[in-house]
Amino acid sequence: MTKEELMRRAILLSVESVRKGGGPFGAVIARNGEIIAEGSNSVTIECDPTAHAEVSTIRKATKALGTFDLEGCEIYTSCEPCPMCLGAIYWAHLDKIYYANDRKDAAAIGFDDDFIYEEFALKPEDRKKPSEILLRDEALMAFREWEQKDDKTEY
């Protein structure tokens, strides 16, 4: 399939999502023009705030391919990814992101993620969500064990 056909599929998934009660977002992961996985936003359907189209599609693609590394694949998403999805895309090692609507288009209909992007630039103590370090010394044990582990699978 061409890039345009793959994007049209993501857009169609976003429209279908709205019609079945989900959010207006769809995504397709493809490798060499072949669809590996596709999905749509089901936050309200599944009562899961992480059930964004991109994250759901990444989960399906990793299962289909039997790997957590999606290098060699591209994602086509009906809208510019939010910060959570962008992070997931980087962790999945997808090669490229194609998107149709941008985050300003999403903000215009009530999906404004700019406040999260702004929070990233702040020190943790200056963010709107309070956070505090707790039991760091105890938690470092797992990091030390990971660092010394000879048979770990890096990702």
Task: For the beta carbon of residue 18, count every other beta carbon within 10 angstroms.
Answer: 14
By residue count, the chain amounts to 155
Helical (H) or strand (E) element with 4: helix 3-19
Measured CA to CA in angstroms, residue 136 lies from 4, 130, 143 at distances of 48, 17, 11
Reduce the DSSP state of residue 73 to 3 states and report it. Answer: coil
CA 89 to chain centre: 5
**Nearest C-alpha neighbor of 39 from the set 25, 18, 49, 50:** 25
Q: Reply yes or no on whether 38 is catalytic.
A: no
Set 54, 71, 119, 138: catalytic member: 54
Among all residues, which ones are annotated catalytic?
54
